[in-house]
Amino acid sequence: MIEAAAKLLRGADIEQITARGLSPEKVLAQIELIKKGTNHVTLYKPCTVRDGVKVIQKETLDRLCSVYDKAAAHGRAMKFVPASGVASRMFEPLYSLLQKLRNQDPDCVNKELLEDSDLGMLSGGIRKLPFFEELKAAMATTGLDLESEIQNSRWDVVIDSILNPRGLGYGNLPKGLVKFHLYPDGARSAFEEHLTEAALYTKDSKGTARIHFTVSPPHEQIIKEHTTPACGRLKEEGTEPLITFSTQHPSTDTITLDSDDIPLRDNSGRIQFRPGGHGALLQNLNDTEGDIVFIKNIDNTAPDGLKGTECRYKKALGGMLIEVQDKAFGFLEALTGKDIDEETLNEAAVFCSDELSSPLPREILSSPAKQRAQYLTTKLHRPLRVCGVVKHEGEPGGGPFWVRDSEGNLSLQIVESAEVDMSSPSQRRVWEQSTHFNPVDIVCGLKDFRGRLFDLNDYRDGTRHIISTKTTDGAQVKALELPGLWNGGMGNWNTLFVEVPLSTFNPVKTVFDLLRREHAAGK
């Protein structure tokens, strides 16, 4: 493999690769994966209520919350928030609008632009945006008066002040630094809201609330400084936030190929690597050494008016994880003991089928007791995740499906559209029959029945990479995305899907989502 790499890679490339924590063998393997293209999953059917999606009965909510509260009191819980991305995609509508405005005569904005829906939303909602006062202050420092610019319809100046460094600079800041919600005592950013939320359901008996953010290296210090006042507020309210940060490992970066499948290089001749997608954060999750870990995206956070319901269901998901985990641990204790009776084997098989939606293959059911015990042990001895899913209402993104593997076995998986061969009518039909959406509302059990941490890399489905086409300097290039954190990254975990209320899902994908009624609930 090294000899093959030497033919494709230069001597300086080897040094560059090893300095990132990669190896020539891994880079060559990435090149081969890109050449082969996306390895599509095979959808069997969508997960629906009582066929892959569980429903929490109202009468069980209190019990599940109580089960979780006892575990959290012992310091078992923490929250993990991927927060590395900048807000440029959130503000894409404003970038597009700014370009249109700059192409117009400033004294003669045509009728078509005046009827632009984005401009209408901005002009009608500018004062409702939670960062309005912050924008006013930022513009004042450069001698601009926001109210005057609005009155004179100088929307290009307003937008420029939102996006660029001479104003708020939101276009190049992490999404977590953007103000999301307005309260009587001021606005809170997404980072501040996640800290507030973590205090409501990860706090232990000593008042410590644990939360971990993944951030980009250039922004780590500013984020630390930004979260300090929020920590002070929470301390005054009786919570001791314990915040940890990590950055994506350079060893998880991936190579990019041009249209001729040749590694892309910069002007100095160095190979261009890029972040491998959120699947690269699997190692960050591993490194937290957490026990019960909640995962939630940085852009999905509710104002205080909705936090009560949201946190109640978070705790219920955690309680369900603990109850299922305890049952699995009990079976593992018995299965790894000296005496294994037929009754235990049968009960463990029923548990896999009914609780984990993973029935044993026929050949295993009819096999000798020792072989069944080994299979059941392998099946139960793996990380567990309970995923809250909401009814599908057209949001873009992945969902819960029954997936068939190469050996014909079915499992519950979160699947993204990019993983599906949409050119296949049957696969497209299954995708379009989906009833639920994955809002990345996940609670994970990362320790085994002996209290030891799993190495999460051992339970990753390495076949579920995605090849995406991007444009760099006007040319199309092919990029490799690692198996997604909650897709292939957790492909070999035990999985439960649970329906949760739509009110627990409050994404901010674009700036105009901040104008939705649910995000005004904090006022």
Q: What is the dihedral of CA 229, 234, 236, 240, to 10 degrees?
A: -110
Does the structure show a pLDDT above 60 at 110? no
How would residue 12 be classed by pLDDT, with cut points 50, 70 and 90? confident
Tell me the chain's radius of gyration from C-alpha atoms.
Answer: 25
Q: What pLDDT score does 298 carry?
A: 96
Does the structure show a pLDDT above 90 at 326? yes
As a three-state string, the secondary structure of 370-422 is HHHHHHHHHHHCCCEEEEEEEECCCCCCCEEEEEECCCCCEEEEEECHHHCCC
How would residue 9 be classed by pLDDT, with cut points 50, 70 and 90? confident
Closest CA to 113 of 122, 124, 126, 104: 104
Q: What pLDDT score does 1 carry?
A: 43
Q: Which range (2-11, 330-339, 407-416, 458-467) has the least confidence?
A: 2-11
Report the pLDDT averaged over residues 123-147: 96
Q: What pLDDT score does 340 carry?
A: 87
Per-residue pLDDT reduced to its tens digit, 477-514: 999 999 999 999 999 999 999 999 999 999 999 999 99
Instruction: Say what the pTM is.
Output: 0.93
Give the DSSP letter string of 306-358.
HHHHHHHHHHHHHHHHHHHHHHHHHHHHHHTSS---HHHHHHHHHHHHHTSS-
Report whether 512 contacts 126 (CB < 8 A): no
Arithmetic mean of pLDDT over the chain: 92
Per-residue pLDDT reduced to its tens digit, 185-219: 999 999 999 999 999 999 999 999 999 999 999 99
Which residue type is seen at 479? A
Report whether 301 contacts 334 (CB < 8 A): no
Does the structure show a pLDDT above 70 at 112? no
Give the DSSP letter string of 272-302.
PEE---GGGGHHHHHHTT-SEEEEE-TTB--
Per-residue pLDDT reduced to its tens digit, 442-485: 999 999 999 999 999 999 999 999 998 887 777 789 999 999 99
Q: What pLDDT score does 103 carry?
A: 81
Q: What pLDDT score does 45 carry?
A: 97
Does the structure show a pLDDT above 50 at 4? no
- Measured from the Cβ of residue 276, the count of other Cβ atoms closer than 10 Å reads 23
451: phi > 0 → left, psi -120 to 50 → alpha, else beta; which? left
Q: Which range (7-16, 20-29, 359-368) has the least confidence?
A: 7-16
Q: How far apart are CA 322 and CA 245, in angstroms?
A: 26
CATH 3.90.550.10 placement within the chain: 37-84+189-321+385-507
Question: In angstroms, how far apart are the furthest CA atoms of the chain?
Answer: 87
Q: Which range (103-112, 188-197, 358-367) has the least confidence?
A: 103-112
Percentage of residues in the chain with pLDDT exceeding 70? 96
Per-residue pLDDT reduced to its tens digit, 126-137: 999 999 999 999
Q: How far apart are CA 203 and CA 73, in angstroms?
A: 7
Q: How far apart are CA 272 and CA 269, in angstroms?
A: 9
Strands 384-391, 410-415: pairing is unpaired
CATH class for the region spanning 37-84+189-321+385-507: alpha beta
Beta bridge partners of 42: 404
Report whether 292 contacts 511 (CB < 8 A): no
Does the structure show a pLDDT above 80 at 173? yes
Does the structure show a pLDDT above 60 at 109? no
Beta bridge partners of 469: 478
Q: How far apart are CA 89 and CA 91, in angstroms?
A: 5
